[in-house]
Amino acid sequence: MSCRCSVPAGLPFAMSQTPNPPSETGARTQPETVTADEQFPHGKVVEIRPLENQGERHPVVALCASAGGLEALERFFQYMPPDSGLAFVVVMHLDPDGKDMLPDVLARFTPMPVQRAEDGLKVKPNHVYCIPPDRDMSILHGTLLLLPPTQPRGRRMPIDYFLQSLAKDSRERAVCIIFSGAGSDGTIGLKMVMENFGMVMVQEPDSAAFDSMPRSALNTEFVDQVLLPEQMPAVLLDYVRRPLLAARPEPEDPDSTTRPAHALQKIFMLIRNKTGHDFSFYKRNTVFRRIERRMNSHQIKEFTHYVRYLQENPQEVEQLFKELLIGVTKFFRDQEAYDSLKQHLVPLLQRKPADSTIRVWAPGCSTGEEAYSLVMVLQECLDQVAPNKYLKIQLFATDINQEGVDFARNGLYSENIAGDVSAERLQRFFTKADASYQIRKEVRDVVVFAVHNLNKDAPFTKLDLLVCRNLLIYLSSELQRNLIPVFHYALNPNGLLFLGPSENLTGFQELFTPLDIKWKISQRNNVPYSLARIVNFPFTLARQAAAATTSASMHTPARKDSTFALMVQKLLLGTYAPPSVVINVKGEILYVNGRTGKYLEPAPGMSGMNVLEMAREELRFEISGAVHRATQQRQDVVVEAAKLRTDRGHELVRLTVKYLPQPEALAGLLLVVFEDVPTPRRRPRAGKTDVLRDNAVEALERELQYTKQRLQNTIEEMESSLEELKSTNEELQSANEELQSTNEEAMTNKEEMQSLNEELMTLNMQYLSKTEELSQAANDMKNLLDATGIATIFLDNDMVVKRFTASVGRIIPLQPTDVGRPITHFASKLRYENLEPDVRRVLDRLVPTHANIQTTTGEWYDMHILPYRTLDNYINGAVITFTDITALKELERRTQQSTAMAESVVQAVREPLVVLDAELRVVSLSQAFADMFGIDSAQGRGQLLADLGDGAWKDGRLTDQLQELARTQQAFDNLDVKAEFPRLGRQLLRFYGRSIQLDGHPSSHLLLGISEMPAAQ
C-alpha cells in the first residue's frame, strides 16, 4: 500500500533554516525558536518551532478513535513533545450515560494540559481537548461549539460531524488521524479534509485492536500515511516543518524549460496520453496542490524531476489522475439547498403533462450520492404534486472516472450515511445489507450512469433539471464561460439549473433568472443563444453553426419565417399603424414595419442592423433609455415630445417602447414605435432682442431637458454597465453568424442526432450491465432449483413448457429441446390421469391444488400446481412441483402394519394388555384389560393413558417408565403401582413394558401388560 504525504500551498508552518513564509497580509513574521531535546525512535533530534506568533493559524490535529483507541492514543502521546505548536482535539465514541473519565485518562499519557471541551472554548496550541459524552462538536474560527446530537443513539457519527467542520474552518491546516475503532465513522469527514488540502493519517490496521475504522478510511484512497501510532508524531512534525513547494522562486530565465508552467504542460500531456483526459482547463492552483501532494509522497522537490519520474513510471500517472479527480461528495450535501430545490421543482412538475418524462442531468456525479439524492427529492415531489398522474424520471449521471461510475452503479454505501439520510428515506429508498446500505433496485433503475467528459463530449439535451454543483469551481474561467451557454442549450424552456454555493453565472445573466441567490438555483430564460459564440471549446457542437437555437437567435438580423412575419404584422395592425421595428434586448432589429428612414439611417462602417446604432443622433439616447427601462421594468415606456432635426427644421416625435410578453414566439422582444407629434405654433414675433432672448432661452431649456435625460440615462446605464461589459467580448463574435445562417437547420439536426447518439450509447452501456446482472441472476436461479432436488415445470397460459429442472426426467422424460412444446404431448410415469384438467383448473380459478401421486416404478410424489405470478401480479402460466415423498409413504405403510400387528396381538392374548403410541395414547387394548377395569374398547382408543379410569392411571412412576421406554427402547419388568381403580378398588398391580418391533426394526408403539395382581394392601 502506497503512502502519500502532502504539503498544501499556503500552510503557515515555520521551519528551521528556511526563509519565513509570508502571512496572508504579505508581511513576514519572525517566530521564536524553541528547541526540544527529545530523542525519537528514528534516532534523530527534532527541533520544534512553535507558531504562537502567527495568531490563530496553528494546525489543528483531530485524533479520532473508537473501540481500542485508548491504547493507540497512549502510544501516540508518548512520542509527541509537549511544545510542538499543534492543537489536539480527541473525538471518540463515548457512552452518553456513563461518567466522563477520558480527560483524566489522557492526562496520564502527556504533560500537555488536557481538558474537556466546552461550548465557546478557544483552541490553543500545545493543548489537548476531549469531546464530552452525548454531544456533537464542531469548530468555527478556532472555537469549539457543542450541540445536542440530532441522530438517535446507535446512528451518531461524531467523528464525521467534527471533521467536516474542521476541514472548512482550518482547511490546509487541518490534520486528521484515524485510530482503532469499529464501524466506518470518519470516512466522510476525512474526504472533506483531503478536499481542503489537509493531511490524513491512519493507524496500521494490523496494529489496531479493532480495524474497521482504519480499513474503511483506507478504502477511500484519500490517505497520506499509514503508520503505527508511535511513528505518527515524528512524521507529523516532519510534515509541518517541510518547506513549501509554492514558496520557491522561479528561475530567472524566462525561456527556461524548467519553469513549473512548462513542466505543468508536460504533466498534462502525459496524463492525456495515458488516460485521454485533458486537465489544462482546470484551475492551476488546484492542480498545483494535487501535484505537490504526489511529489511530497516521493520526496521530489523539482517539477522537472517529477516529470521525469512520470515518464519512467506509468503507474504514477494513474495515481496522479486519481488524485486530480476530487471525488468528495455525500448524500444531501447542503440540506437547505435541497429543501429550496424542492420548492422550485413543485411548479415545474405541476406543468408537466401526464405520461411525460422528467429528464435530469448530473455531470460530475463522482460516486453517485448526489444523483441518488436527486432521485429521492424528485420522487418526494412527485408524491406531493402528482399522486394521480404518471410521470417518469430519467436521470443521467456522468463522470470521467470509470471507477466512480462503477461504484455508483452498484449503489452500495457504508452505514455512516445514516448521518446524512433521514430514517424515513433510509427505509423507503435503501435496503440494509450487513454493515452497509443498498439503494433499492427501483431507484437504481431510474439513474443511467455513464462515463462522460464535460469538456469534449456533447451534452444531454431537453432537460428539465441540470445539477452541476461544486464542479465549476475546479475549472478555469474560460471553460466556465463555455459551459454556461451549453447548459442553457441543454435545458428546456423554464428548466432549472442548480449550481454550487460558490459558483455563479457571471456574464450570462440574460440566459437565466435567479430563483434562489444563496443556493444558486436559476431558471432558464426563453432567450435564444448561439453556441457559435463559444470559442476554443473542444466538442463539435460549439465549433459549428448555432445549432438548436439560432433559428430564433437574438443576434440574427432578419427572420425569414413567414409565420413569424404574419404574427408580427398582425400584432402591429391590431395595435399601431405608425412606423415601428421589433428588436431584442440588445437592440438588434428583427423586423421592420413601415417607412422608418426618417428616424433610422444606416450606421457607418461594418455595423449590423442595430437600432441603437442606426437611430438618428437626436433620438439615440431617448431610444437607449426607453429600451433599458422597458427591459428592466417589463412594461411600456413612452417618451413624449422627443425632438428630431429634419430638412424642414425641428419636429416632435412620440417614442413608444412596448415590452412583448406574448405570444410565446415573441416573448421577451421589444416593439419600438415612432409617431409624429404636431409642432405647436410659434408666438408672434417680437422685437429682435426679444426673439434672440427667446431663442436663447428655448435653446437652453432644450439643452437642460436633454442634459437631464442624458443624466438619467447615464445613471441607469451605469447600473448595468458592469454586467454588460463582461459580455462585450462574446458579442463581438456575433458577426460570424450571418455567414452561417444558410447552414443552421442542417447543423441543428446534426447536433441533435449527435446528442441522441450519445444518449443511445449511454443506454446501451446500461443495458449491457443489466444483461450481465440478469445472466448472473439466471445462473443463480438455475443452481438454486437444481440444489433443491425438487422437480419443477414452468408452463405458460397455453400449457406450453417454458422451463424445467433436471429432476423432472424421473417423472416425465423432458429434454432441453422440448421447451416450447405443450405438456400434453408427453407421456409420464404418473398413475394419474387428471394432470391436464388440474392445470387448466388452476389457470382458470387461480386456486392452487395438490395431490399425492404414485409412479409406475413405485415412487410417490407430492404434486403442487400453483399459478405463476409476475412481480406486477400478472398471471403468466402455472408452476408444477413434484416433491419425493416415497420415504414418507414407506414410513406410513410400516406404521399401519405395526398398528395392525399390535391390534392382532392384543386381541389374541387373554392377558390384560394395552398398546400405546409415543405420546402414550391408547392405540389398542385387549378385551381382558377392558373387562378388568370396566373400559369400553372403542371409546378407550385415542385417549391418553392418564385419562383412563377417571385418572386412576396418573402415576408418575408409570408415566416416567413408559416415556423412558419410548426413548431408549429398553424393556422393563416388575413395576409395582398402587392406585384406586373404579371397579377393583385400591389395588397393587405389577406391570411390564415392551417396544413393538416391525421387520426387526423398532416402531413407535409400546406394549404395556399386567404380569400379576397381588392381593389388595
Which residues are CB-neighbours of 947 under 8 A, at least 6 positions away?
Answer: 953
Count other Cβ atoms within 10 Å, centred on residue 78: 13
The phi and psi torsions of 638 (rounded to 5 degrees) equal: -120, 130
Question: Helices marked H in 465-595 — which ranges?
Answer: 477-490, 540-543, 562-575
Task: Please report, in angstroms and rounded to a whole number, the separation of the first and last CA atoms in the chain.
Answer: 91
Q: How far apart are CA 777 and CA 536, in angstroms?
A: 48
* Residue 650 bridge partners (DSSP): 645
Task: Cell numbers for 372, please give them.
Answer: 441518488
882-909 residue pLDDT tens: 888 888 888 778 777 767 776 776 766 7
Of 295, 249, 465, 504, whose CA–CA distance to 363 is shortest?
Answer: 465
Max CA separation in the chain (angstroms): 171
Of 531, 491, 537, whose CA–CA distance to 512 is shortest?
Answer: 491
Instruction: Identify the helix (H) or strand (E) that includes residue 385.
Output: helix 369-385
3-state SS string for 983-1005 = CCEEEEEEEEEEEEEECCEEEEE
Cβ proximity of 365 and 467 under 8 Å: no
- DSSP for 772-796 reads HHHHHHHHHHHHHHHHHT-EEEEE-
Q: What is the pLDDT of residue 695?
A: 63
Q: What is the pLDDT of residue 758?
A: 56
Residue-wise over 417-426: b if at least 16 C-beta within 10 A, else e?
A: bbbbbeeebb
Q: What is the three-class DSSP state of 916?
A: strand
Q: Which CA distances in Å does 846 have to 798, 839, 863, 864, 875?
A: 15, 10, 16, 13, 8
Could you tell me how many helices (H) and strands (E) the chain has, helices first?
29, 35
Residue-wise over 319-358: b if at least 16 C-beta within 10 A, else e?
A: bbbbbbbbbbbbbbbbeebbebbeebbeebbeebeeeeeb
Q: Which CA distances in Å does 503 have to 242, 284, 376, 517?
A: 33, 17, 24, 11
Q: How far apart are CA 464 and CA 496, in angstroms?
A: 6
Q: Which CA distances in Å does 959 have to 953, 962, 963, 986?
A: 9, 5, 6, 19
Instruction: State the amino acid at position 307 in one-letter form.
Output: V
Which residues are CB-neighbours of 332 under 8 A, at least 6 positions away?
Answer: 338, 373, 420, 421
* Residue 915 bridge partners (DSSP): 924, 1007
Question: Helices marked H in 171-282 — which ranges?
Answer: 187-195, 212-218, 232-241, 260-275
Q: What is the pLDDT of residue 114?
A: 93
SS3 content of the chain, % helix, strand, coil (to 5): 40, 25, 35
Of 156, 164, 104, 165, whose CA–CA distance to 134 is shortest?
Answer: 156
Q: What is the pLDDT of residue 34?
A: 32
Cβ proximity of 125 and 85 under 8 Å: yes
> Looking at the annotation, which residues are catalytic?
66, 93, 185
Cβ proximity of 918 and 966 under 8 Å: yes
Q: How far apart are CA 488 and CA 25, in angstroms?
A: 40
Cβ proximity of 820 and 845 under 8 Å: no
pTM score above 0.75: no
Q: How far apart are CA 693 and CA 753, in angstroms?
A: 73
- DSSP for 702-731 reads HHHHHHHHHHHHHHHHHHHHHHHHHTHHHH
Q: What is the pLDDT of residue 990?
A: 84
Instruction: State the amino acid at position 230 in one-letter form.
Output: E
* Residue 91 bridge partners (DSSP): 64
Q: What is the pLDDT of residue 315?
A: 85
Instruction: State the amino acid at position 371 in one-letter form.
Output: A
Q: How far apart are CA 997 and CA 196, in angstroms?
A: 83
Instruction: Identify the helix (H) or strand (E) that includes residue 612.
Output: helix 611-614
Classify residue 432 by its DSSP letter. E
Q: What is the pLDDT of residue 139?
A: 93
Q: What is the three-class DSSP state of 822?
A: strand
Cβ proximity of 16 and 237 under 8 Å: no
Q: How far apart are CA 697 and CA 828, in angstroms?
A: 121
Task: Cell numbers for 422, please give them.
Answer: 433521514
Q: What is the pLDDT of residue 767?
A: 72
* Residue 924 bridge partners (DSSP): 915
Task: Cell numbers for 895, please give them.
Answer: 406404521
Count other Cβ atoms within 10 Å, centred on residue 850: 13
Q: What is the pLDDT of residue 281?
A: 77
Ranges under pLDDT 50 in the chain: 1-56, 243-259, 532, 535-538, 540-560, 574, 1016-1017
Question: Helices marked H in 90-200 — which ranges?
Answer: 102-107, 158-170, 187-195
Q: How far apart are CA 671 and CA 663, in angstroms?
A: 13
Q: How far apart are CA 573 and CA 511, in angstroms?
A: 31
Map grid coordinates 483506507 to a residue: 218
Instruction: Give Cα 359 distance to the centre of its chain.
Output: 17
Task: Cell numbers for 119, please give them.
Answer: 461550548
- DSSP for 473-503 reads GGB-HHHHHHHHHHHHHHEEEEEEEEE-TT-
Asked if residue 663 has a cis previous peptide bond (ω within 30° of 0), the answer is yes
Instruction: State the amino acid at position 126 in one-letter form.
Output: N
